[in-house]
Amino acid sequence: DEEALRRIQATIVQVQEDCEKLNSVTGELVDDRRQKQRDIEALFLSLEKLEKGKADKEDLVTEMDVKADRAALAAKVSRTQFDATVEHLNKMVQDMLDRMTGQEQDWQHIQQKLVEEMDSKLDRLELTPFRQRLEERWKGLLKQLQEKAPRLEADDAAGIRKYGPGP
């Protein structure tokens, strides 16, 4: 029974570490998106300066085409990287959910074993308070895990699934 509890504790620690990694990757994505937004704003400022400078029409068209090509290329590379990162994040979240499901199954198995052992060894008057304490502790642990689990929400148009508690 202690071995099972140690495994559960180790799994909880692993889930917490995975959550920290997930938060780190999410922060990097947000920073990358902000940098891209600054680059786009800089391109728009450059475009305004060209229009105000009354540049030759051919030069203006050529310059805009070059900048548009660069922006399109940068967006495509960025989109590929974004998709790969989102796929990786989805896999990490699925792995964590699988682990949590496994933990819950392990806990139910341990709980069943305890009930069987207690039925054979404990006086009935002692059994009910002990069972209530165990159930309260289990509910508290589940609540903590659910509160600490990150929720992914993204634009459905981008093709990203939404994770979190169901409706």
Q: Does the pLDDT at position 4 exceed 80?
A: yes
Q: Does the pLDDT at position 143 exceed 60?
A: yes
Average pLDDT over residues 11-33: 91
Tokens of 163: 């994770």
Cβ atoms within 10 Å, residue 46? 13
d(CA 160, CA 141): 29
User: In Å, how far are 43, 97, 151 from 16, measured between CA atoms?
Assistant: 41, 12, 14
Q: Does the pLDDT at position 34 exceed 70?
A: yes
Nearest to 17 by CA among 148, 152, 162, 154: 148
Q: If pLDDT is split at 50, 70 and 90, which confidence band does 67 have?
A: confident
Average pLDDT over residues 153-165: 49
User: Would you say 100 and 12 are in contact if contact means Cβ atoms under 8 Å apart?
Assistant: no
98-111 pLDDT, tens digit each: 887 777 787 788 77
Please name the amino acid found at residue 105: Q
How far separated are the first and last CA of the chain, in Å rounded? 35
